[in-house]
Amino acid sequence: QVQLEESGGGLVQPGGSLKLSCAASGDIISIPAMGWYRQAPGKERELVASITNAGGTSYTDSVKDRFTISRDYAKKTVYLQMNSLKDEDTAVYYCHAEFYYGRPHRYLELWGRGSLVTVSS
């Protein structure tokens, strides 16, 4: 069985920083891509940032130069460092990952349970 466990959400003032973590566990062969999505109240879920197995990254325009996605391959963990947070960054943040696992190899996509990030003074 493959699982994702998120941590790091919370309340922060505008201009502050938070770091989200998402750790994968299980009989994992490889993780082609990991990413973070968010869903604000009344809005659709959107991709915030993603990172491939080769280290390639992409960001939605609204977070470029403020958020940084990174991976610890040994720990099977993806991070999202969020700086200069704004009110409009308030949302539930979801980790997402693609896996090859088990023998024979199977493909799976998983979502984390979500971490609430609230930016407010």
| Segment 51-99, tens digit of pLDDT | 999 999 999 999 999 999 999 999 999 999 999 999 999 999 999 999 9
**Mean pLDDT rounded to a whole number for the chain:** 96
pLDDT for 1? 83
| Segment 84-95, tens digit of pLDDT | 999 999 999 999
* Cα gap 5→21, rounded to integer Å: 8
Length of the chain: 121
Residue 86's Cβ-side half-sphere holds a number of Cα atoms within 13 Å equal to 8
Q: What pLDDT band is residue 44 in, cutting at 50, 70 and 90?
A: very high
**Which tokens in the block code for residue 79?**
């991070």
Average pLDDT in the 94-118 region?
95
Asked if the model's pLDDT at residue 110 lies above 90, the reply is yes
CB 36 within 8 A of CB 18: no
Average pLDDT in the 16-29 region?
96
